[in-house]
A = this chain, B = another copy of it.
């Protein structure tokens, strides 16, 4: 197997651990917790895993540890650092007791249900230390939520004498981890379930989780590319680049990249929703900046667009909500119709307001909105070419203004979509260390008989030595939300807060970025070299954690 020079050298990197995790560890428990909202509902649904305390790990004298076997699952989209969580799990398990075993379930939660697994050995884990991707054991989007799946999983858990399952996933996967923990606890099966906060999208964060892993590496990779495009834009001075960025609903990725690269325009979905802006408002805003720059002779610029934008335009959002419910309840009869009949079906079933929104959308976009839900019942926003939709509508607006004598520039647009380019990048030093510490923490939660917890690492803007590690009860982060037409307990998704420090920093500076050309070129992630390059965290984290 041929590997790159970077892979070879990087394989030798030993992730830095917080002091509290370097030696033997005991837990310090806090007060009982409650869910962020809908406490009665959540408590009723999770009688065995509700109200548990926060825990923090602190150093102790060396202690004996019984043998435990652990199964690990990667769930959902890839994020840089997943392999390091597994390395941390493996090393800590073996450190506690050389007889401990780690099993990897293959291709996501489905591997548990279908009994597809491998044992993770020292030689095997060595090939994946500090690498990107989830190819070590694969990932998948099977939703773990049926009792039959839990019971089927139990068979292989018993067969392999597994004590605990670690699920590495985003908000939905960790919600399901908690449902599984609750079920096994209720049944007194003695099987623990622990989650780890993974997602490049950055929307799995709250008072306990400072950042989800992968956000650091992915946003640095996208910012490298955006910076390169900005430099090209500023050299050729003849194109407007429209860059859509992955990130699903939340705009954290776009916002972080904007803070790193200072583009002329960055749309923030949450702001558009809060201000109740229409698609036309957005188009006029962008066209206005383009016209202003053109008047100064600058017929070029860079626009960042979060992939979730379309859902956050309130009229479109209401439409999508009704479509989600409609497809969840009538999907079966609808699915087999011809495209024209599908459109007709939707138009006759929609309420009047949403029908008129549906009719005014470009047909390709309307089609996308009425198809292809992911297994969680969500629109696959990454398939909608929002960057082209917006740039074409901006072009039409500018043509109109030109006729009216309000604009006299040249407008030539280029389009980019960055997502797959960063989800599997080799983890930055930050993500390499952070993920490894999460893996170690997960093992300590298991060794301390916890279930229904997520592993957490805090104080992450300090040096790694000073990081704090522990666990948070998953129920603490839950509330009730409508999914597929039903109210469900879910971990509350963290959207961009308009009174949060990152957005406020952006809002204070964006007007000058729009008028002037203040591009910053971050360059590629560096693993060796000056610490101010290699060890810096994201701007989002710096701003949020600045006290």
Contacts and interface: CB of A to CB of B under 8 A. Distances in A.
A523 interface: yes
A2 B228 CA distance: 16
Interface in A1-36: 1-10
Contact of A235 (B133, B525, B536): B133
Contacts of A520: 2-4, 7
Work out how many copies of this chain go into the complex: 2
B235 A6 contact: no
B528 A530 contact: yes
Interface stretch (A204-212, A317-325, A415-423, A485-493): A415-423
B421 A78 contact: no
A228 B107 contact: no
A71 B528 CA distance: 38
A225 to B, nearest CB: 5
Contacts of A9: 529-530, 532-533
A106 B77 CA distance: 46
Size range of the chain A interface in the assembly: 35 or more
A235 B423 CA distance: 10
A135 interface: yes
Contacts of A521: 3-4, 6-7, 131-133, 426
A228 B420 contact: yes
A421 B225 contact: yes
Contact of A224 (B231, B234, B241, B524): B524
A527 B525 contact: no
Contacts of A416: 420-421
Contact of A2 (B262, B423, B426): B262
A87 interface: no
Contacts of A423: 228, 232
Nearest to A415: B417
B426 A523 contact: yes
A424 interface: yes
Interface string A169-198: 000000000000000000000000000000
Contacts of A522: 4-6
B424 A232 contact: yes
A414 interface: yes
A232 B2 contact: no
A237 interface: yes
A139 interface: yes
Nearest to A139: B235
A237 B140 CA distance: 9
Most B CB within 10 A of own CB, among A2, A7, A227: A227
Interface in A101-133: 107, 131-133
A232 B78 contact: yes
B231 A132 contact: yes
Nearest to A517: B135
Given A7-B523, A422-B228, A521-B4, A234 B528 contact: no
A312 B526 CA distance: 39
Interface in A517-547: 518, 520-530, 532-533, 536
Interface in A391-431: 414, 416, 420-426
A135 B231 contact: yes
A235 B523 contact: no
A237 B131 contact: no
A232 B536 CA distance: 25
A314 interface: no
Most B CB within 10 A of own CB, among A9, A138, A225, A420: A420
28 contacts: A2-B518, A3-B520, A4-B520, A4-B522, A4-B523, A5-B522, A5-B530, A6-B521, A6-B523, A6-B533, A9-B530, A9-B532, A77-B236, A78-B232, A78-B236, A131-B521, A132-B521, A133-B232, A133-B235, A133-B521, A135-B231, A135-B234, A221-B524, A224-B524, A228-B420, A231-B424, A425-B524, A526-B529
Given A138-B237, A225-B225, 18 more contacts: A1-B518, A4-B523, A7-B520, A10-B523, A107-B237, A133-B232, A133-B235, A134-B236, A135-B231, A135-B234, A139-B236, A221-B524, A224-B524, A414-B420, A426-B523, A426-B524, A526-B528, A529-B529
